[in-house]
Structure 1
Amino acid sequence: MPGSFRIGTIAGIDIYVNFSWLIILVLLTDSLASGWFPSAYPGQTLVTYLLLGFISAILLFVSVLLHELGHSLVARAQGLSVKSIVLFIFGGVSNIEQEPRTAGGEFWMAVIGPVISLAIGGIAYGFFVLASGSKSALAAILMYLAAANILLGIFNLIPGFPLDGGRVLRAIVWKVTGRPTTATQVATFIGQLVAYLFILWGILQFFSGNPLGGIWLGFIGWFLLTAAQSVRAQATYDTLFKDVTVSQMMNAHPMTVPANISLQKLVDEYFLPQGLRSALVMQGDILAGLITLSDIRHVPREEWPQTPVGFVMKSVDKLHVVSPQQNMKDVLVLMNGRDVNQLPVVENERLVGVLSRDAVIRSLEVRQRLGLRQVRTDEESQSQGPREEHKDQEPHAV
């Protein structure tokens, strides 16, 4: 997630904190210092309440981290790759790079988070009962942690995707129907419905004398709506590109430039005449790297005639490359997750094509206009007869 910084590693999983989390840390500390602790632990100074609020906010986010670690460790036990955990304004997110392979795997991966939150809440409440007679700061902190974690567990069980409850619902529908795509459509539809209810609730709160609470509820609804729509769009991609490989979508004749020409020649003979923003760079028959407008702008103009492209380009080891046999569903996840507009397609260290976001979008538009629900695989295409070849199509520029 952009705007995050790494704070450490747990069980081989990188832990990041987004700067938006710092905002909620300040707001939560102030809210606890002005509301919860003066009533739960009266007679103390403002400084004491601020310190207790800060400690409680940190402990709550430790609880959120444990919640996300539960998701991540269960996912890893199923053989799924877990990249990192990010704490941000709405709590936390585990960056799990693949979807579960079975409905049971989805169920256990989703349900473990709320179970951990409810368990932490129950344990905190048990210790509160033991310490409640003392009317101490510790008792006030424990009661807050108990209430917050129980509410967190219950909230996450709401059956609205992408909340954990939505994923549990998806797993159940998947198990009943045997169709993960149908399960995703059902879960994301209900997720959008829940999001609209939060937004409506926020509007009612705003005009009922609770503007801050209304804005917060509306913000949560907007976040859930955006996430549900994103997942639904990804499910559409999965359906359209089922069993489709990169070789079927790539441009097999990408624009390339030699590594040994000067930046001046690159600009005069390639970028300006053809309106390019970037080009793949070749060293003989081998892909060497990528050159972009941004790379060129970093070099003073008077040095362009003497500077070879190979000195300025991004080398191939710094690029994301894919093979022609890779599945388009996995590659789209890579393009979206890394915010990459084009990917070189390489086989045996040789460039065989380029896959661009524009080409994928055009393919989706054409299929939507034709009413096609799924891209045909090579085998399906061959079984239905040869396709007409169009000789007047020009190769797409990189």
Structure 2
Amino acid sequence: MLESSLRIGAIAGIRIGVHYTWFIVFLLLSSVLAAYFRETHPEWSGVAVVLTALVTTLMYFVSIVLHELGHSLVAIARGVQVRAITLFIFGGIAQTEKDADTAATEFYIAIAGPLVSFLLAGLFYLLKLGFVSYSTIATEAFNWLATINLVLAVFNLIPGFPLDGGRVFRALVWRFTGDAAKGMQWAVLGGKLVAYGLMLIGALVGLQPGMLFNGIWLIGIGWFLFAAAEGSRRAYFSSQLAAHVLVGDVMQKQVPTVTTDMSILHWIDTQMLLTGQRFALVTEGGQIVGLITLNDAIQCPRAQWADTPVCEVMTTFERLYTVKPANSVLEVMEIMREQNINQVPVMDEATVIGWIDREHVLKILQLHSAIGR
């Protein structure tokens, strides 16, 4: 999601971005609010209705950013770095570098968001009271914002992962059982039950006259929660497994090599397309001097592949990230994610003895998971 989002700023070093789906929900919510204000206040001008709807919608998403910022600032204070906050069609998400390492940290991070929403609900309610004698427009906007923030806080406290309440539930189970995995299992189960409930309610609502859109929206939220819960479960247990699997156990030992003077086209035609291996170590005089990958190759215009040696586009050995056989697979996967790379050479002392490929490792982890080992 981060890769396909548009950066709009940063707060406390945290990137704030919007996914393209956010523009869809912004227009939909603005239209719904405009229709609501037009129906409840026919005396308002068309310009007043549209501007109030747009500003109120914008303030709603500011509220969501503040909700996620609550999570993020507590996470940073507890030693969990936050890469970005991204707005998308179903709300917002804070993207952290790692999971909480204690039940207490999980609890404090999870509860911070709803607390911010409760505070915002109270603030907007006070603003509503302050403007009630001066501006009907401001009063209506603040009333809606107070209500929606209260709903957001309460909804997020439902004990189903990945809702905040699910994370609180996970933290409590983790705290009282001492088992983080059990906490995750129970929280994900809660999340799936909530998702099924929302989809069922959405189907029933959609059957009512004039409620089709509302029903579809609830079904969409339910589907998203189910997919997020299952995806979180798989990611969590994969990372737990990866922490106990060593690089030396899953590395591929046959390391493809090319010489520095080989052209990009020759490498692709005689090695990559025949073996499916999208990288090779580059050697000169028997010494490894770099790494060539498909991503490196496509940076060069295709018309120049035949005349361009791999050494001109390779990553030099000094710039390579390498790992040791005793490193855990989890460590390697984190390096790959942080550096946006897919292959890492495995070194024993000063010798390359194998390599790790992201796709290959994921397949191995899936097999381990399938057989329960």
**TM-score, normalised via structure 1 length:** 0.83
Partners of 1:223 and 1:320 lie apart in 2 by 36
Correspondence list, 1:51-200, <5 A: 51-200=51-200
Partners of 1:293 and 1:145 lie apart in 2 by 47
Q: Secondary structure at the match of 1:251?
A: coil
Instruction: List gaps (5 residues or longer) in structure 2.
Output: none
2:329 matched residue in structure 1: 328
Cα gap change, 1:197/1:323 in structure 2, threshold over 3 Å: closer, same or farther? farther
1:122-169: per-residue Cα shift (whole Å, max 9, x none)?
111122123223352111111011011111111111111001000000
Instruction: List gaps (5 residues or longer) in structure 1.
Output: 375-398
Matched to 1:225, the amino acid is F
The number of aligned residues is 369
2:261 matched residue in structure 1: 260
Q: Secondary structure at the match of 1:134?
A: coil
Deviation of 1:74 (Å): 0.7
Q: Secondary structure at the match of 1:133?
A: coil
Q: Secondary structure at the match of 1:100?
A: coil
Partners of 1:163 and 1:357 lie apart in 2 by 30
Correspondence list, 1:1-398, <5 A: 1=1, 2-36=3-37, 38-39=39-40, 41-209=41-209, 210-272=211-273, 274-284=274-284, 285-286=287-288, 288-292=290-294, 295=297, 299-300=301-302, 303-313=304-314, 322=323, 324-332=325-333, 341-345=342-346, 351-364=352-365, 366-367=367-368, 371=371, 373-374=372-373
1:391 matched residue in structure 2: none
Partners of 2:168 and 2:72 lie apart in 1 by 16
Answer with 11-20 or 237-246: which moved more. 237-246
Matched to 1:25, the amino acid is F
Deviation of 1:261 (Å): 1.4
Cα contact 1:191–1:224 (8 A) shared by 2: yes
Matched to 2:140, the amino acid is A
Cα gap change, 1:13/1:247 in structure 2, threshold over 3 Å: closer, same or farther? same
Cα gap change, 1:9/1:257 in structure 2, threshold over 3 Å: closer, same or farther? same
Cα gap change, 1:137/1:86 in structure 2, threshold over 3 Å: closer, same or farther? same
Q: Secondary structure at the match of 2:15?
A: strand
Answer with 343-352 or 16-25: which moved more. 343-352
Q: Secondary structure at the match of 2:254?
A: coil
Partners of 1:160 and 1:9 lie apart in 2 by 30
Seq. identity, %: 35
Deviation of 1:277 (Å): 4.7
Partners of 1:337 and 1:193 lie apart in 2 by 34
Deviation of 1:88 (Å): 1.1
Cα contact 1:203–1:214 (8 A) shared by 2: yes
Cα contact 2:17–2:85 (8 A) shared by 1: yes
Deviation of 1:30 (Å): 1.2
**TM-score, normalised via structure 2 length:** 0.89
Answer with 165-174 or 337-346: which moved more. 337-346
Answer with 342-351 or 177-186: which moved more. 342-351
